[in-house]
Amino acid sequence: MDHKAPDPVGLYEPWAAAGPLVAISAISSAADGELITGAVGRDIDLATAQEAARRAARNLLAVMSDTVAGDLSRIERVLLMRGHVNAAPDFTLVHKVIDAASEMIVAELGERGRHARTAIGCTTLPNGNAVTLEALVMVK
């Protein structure tokens, strides 16, 4: 993976491990740090939100890569992914936004990337992010 994980934007670590389990978080910034911001269904449309989800997934994969010293073959399984979508109150397709992230994870990791998942609509996210992701990963 040649994408660099973004630096944390608060008082947290991008990942924390306990034995073979690694908890990971990621935001929807681009490589240059630009964020896709706003509430889906009010400020941005579904396609833009899906691009934010893909950016967050790319960042999630970059953090995963950091946890295994660049060797993604050491990712045994993505167990859980939780997606948070900054959504207008009447926007009900948060699962379609997070589908874009799930598709990217599975495309990169194959069957090891298939995961349980939740997609949660929020009234706001840090710094106006459109999408944030969390994952629980098992490593070798």
Residue found under tokens 């992914």? 81
Domain extent for 41: 15-139
Residue 31 within a domain: yes
Residue 10 within a domain: no
Residue 44 within a domain: yes
Q: Global pTM?
A: 0.93
6: pLDDT strictly greater than 80? no
pLDDT for res 77:
98
Residue 7 within a domain: no
pLDDT for res 84:
98
125: pLDDT strictly greater than 80? yes
Amino acid letter, 28:
S
Per residue in 13-55, pLDDT (tens digit) is 899 999 999 999 998 887 777 899 999 999 999 999 999 999 9
pLDDT for res 1:
57
Token code pair at residue 31: 């490589």
Residue 8 within a domain: no
Q: Helices (DSSP H) in 8-79: which residue ranges?
A: 46-67
User: Bigger pLDDT: 63 or 28?
Assistant: 63
Residue 5 within a domain: no
- Number of domains within the chain: 1
Question: Mapping DSSP to helix (H, G, I), strand (E, B) and coil, where does residue 89 land?
Answer: coil
Per residue in 66-107, pLDDT (tens digit) is 999 999 999 999 999 999 999 999 999 999 999 999 999 999
Q: In what order do the strands lie in the sheet with 131-139?
A: 15-18, 21-27, 131-139, 75-86, 116-122
Residue 108 phi/psi, 5-degree rounding, is -80, -40
Residue 6 within a domain: no
Token code pair at residue 65: 């890569």
Per residue in 96-124, pLDDT (tens digit) is 999 999 999 999 999 999 999 999 999 99
Residue 38 within a domain: yes
Token code pair at residue 49: 């939100």
What CATH number is attached to the domain comprising 101? 3.30.1330.40
For residues 14 and 8, give the distance between their C-alpha atoms in angstroms, rounded to a whole number: 6
